Amino acid sequence: MKTLIVGIVCLISTILPAWSQDTLTLAQCYQAAAQHYPYVKQKGLLSQTGALSVLNLKVNRWLPQASINGQATWQSEVTRLPIELPGIQVPQLSKDQYKVTLDASYALYDGDANRLQQKLQKETTALEVQQVEVELQKLKEQVNLFFLNAQLAEENMKLLETLQKDLKNRIDKLSANVRYGTAAQTSADALQAEYLKTTQKLSELQISRKGLKEMLALLTGLPVEATTPLSLGTEEVSIAHVTTSNHPQVKVFTLQRSQVDIQNKLTGSSLQPRLSAFAQTGAGRPALNFLNNDFRSFFLGGVKLSWPISNGYNLRREQQIHSLRKQIIQTRQETFEKNLALQLRQQQSEVERYQAMLEQDKEIVALRTKIKQSAGTQLENGAIAARDYISELNQESEALLNQNLHRLQWQMAKLQYVTLSGN
């Protein structure tokens, strides 16, 4: 039993680090950053606000409008019958009068204004939510920056670790030669100094990687450790079939034009006639019979037609304003698309430039590795000094670091192209 428990504990201790070291992809970072970013919470709040506003408009349309009104007055003169009949006392109204009523009305036809107001509210909400999407595009640029720089730091660390191993092997071999008197101590010291210099660079990269991954963790809310592996994903980043039709800002312009169209229709509906039913009940002194000075209840109802023809005074100018607003939006979109096309062309040039540099890096690295290997053999045979070998070693290391840097810049240029296009 004890052996079984120990085995289970060992198994768990083996599995848990494996879970914590799952490879983190760029797509996962995009998704997590979008969910973790406080600004994205506005999407839900805006949708709820818009839904409640639409519900209010529906309630106002389908339920009658009711109000309770009260009035108490004193007047200097009241209506009197200008006659006197012998033996008959003509009733006289009191100068203090009172009335309490419950008034209700229901729109039978409102010129389609309420439906258009609901549609306008939905478009306004969609526009506000889409503007949040525009802000989230900028978030991707931050994710790209932290992710790829952390990945570059890791690649460079691997190179330096390989360089350390090579220097360590050379130091061990040279130290043996020093003991047998076939090599000078200064050569071994030179290699040792280069080893320490490489260790120093490696420590700097470790700190840099740790900081970049901590910022990535803050941005995404994911448990990103210093040793968490990073990957761009299984799919290679490609700009071959990237379009700008799905760009969030383009959708903003589309929604803005739709909003203006609805506002224009709503302006036109203001000139339509309104038909409503109304009812009033209450009590007062006098009531409907002005010749009765007693408190009495009353009721009246009917249908009311109104036609606000004065709204036509400014109708044409209002429609012209809406037309001009659409032209302004179209001009803004054309300006945006032109600037975006220029940015994308510039970014495409960057992609092509780094791609060409990577092709040259392959040849440079191959040559530098060949030269370094030859220098290593010469060092072992005592044909060259340690400083000459270190020079060739550093040039190979520089070529490899440049290759990694250009690969990062190539990936960054492609990702920036895709991000700029709104994908």
Per-residue DSSP letters for 67-127?
EEEEEEEE-S-----S--BTTB------SEEEEEEEEEEEEEE-TTHHHHHHHHHHHHHHH
Peptide bond into 308 cis (omega under 30): no
Q: Report domain extents, the chain.
A: 23-68+95-420
Spatial separation of the C-alpha atoms in residues 247 and 345, rounded to whole Å:
16
User: Does residue 236 carry a pLDDT above 60?
Assistant: no
Residue 201's pLDDT is: 86
Q: Give pLDDT, residue 177.
A: 67
Q: What is the pLDDT of residue 394?
A: 80
Looking at residue 21, what is its pLDDT?
53
Residue 418 and residue 237 in contact, taking contact as beta carbons nearer than 8 Å: yes
Residue type, 120: L
Tell me, what's the pLDDT at 411? 82
> What spatial distance separates the first Cα and last Cα of the chain, rounded to whole Å?
57
What tokens does 251 get? 């959708």
pLDDT per residue as tens digits for the range 274-321 = 999 999 999 998 888 877 888 899 999 999 999 988 888 888 998 999
Query: In this structure, which amino acid lies at residue 50?
Result: G
> Which pLDDT score is estimated for 398?
82
Q: What backbone phi and psi angles, to 5 degrees, belong to 103? A: -105, 135
Tokens of 337: 């698309």
pLDDT score at 20: 42
Q: Which of 82 and 315 is assigned the larger pLDDT?
A: 315
Q: How confident is the model at residue 85 (pLDDT cuts 50, 70, 90)?
A: low
**Cα-based distances in Å from 8 to 3, 14, 18, 20, 196:** 9, 10, 16, 18, 42
Could you tell me what percent of the chain has a pLDDT over 90? 24
pLDDT category at 100 given cuts 50, 70, 90 is very high
Residue type present at position 103: D
- Model pTM? 0.72
AA identity, residue 51: A
Q: What letter represents residue 323's amino acid?
A: S
- pLDDT at residue 8 tops 60: no
pLDDT of res. 252: 92
Which tens digit of pLDDT belongs to each residue from 367-419? 888 888 888 888 777 777 777 877 887 888 888 888 888 888 888 888 888 88
Q: How large is the average pLDDT for residues 224-243?
A: 69
User: Which pLDDT score is estimated for 184?
Assistant: 67
Q: What is the mean pLDDT of residues 20-32?
A: 80
More confident residue, 46 or 82: 46
The pLDDT-based confidence of 322 (bands split at 50, 70, 90) is very high
Tally: H helices and E strands in the chain: 8, 6
pLDDT of residue 261: 94
pLDDT exceeds cutoff 90 at 126: yes
Whole-angstrom distance, CA of residue 309 vs CA of residue 305: 12
Q: How confident is the model at residue 271 (pLDDT cuts 50, 70, 90)?
A: confident
DSSP, res 422: T
Q: What is the mean pLDDT of the chain?
A: 83
From CA 175, how far away is CA 70, in angstroms rounded? 109
State whether CATH 3.30.420.40 applies to domain 23-68+95-420.
no
Q: What is the CA radius of gyration of the chain?
A: 41
Query: Which residues make Cβ contacts (< 8 Å) with residue 344, sequence separation at least 6?
Result: 244, 417, 420, 421
> What band does 72 get if pLDDT is binned at 50, 70 and 90?
very high
Residue 16 has pLDDT above 50, yes or no: no
- Dist CA 234 CA 393 (whole Å): 34
3-class DSSP assignment, residue 325: helix
- DSSP category for residue 147: H
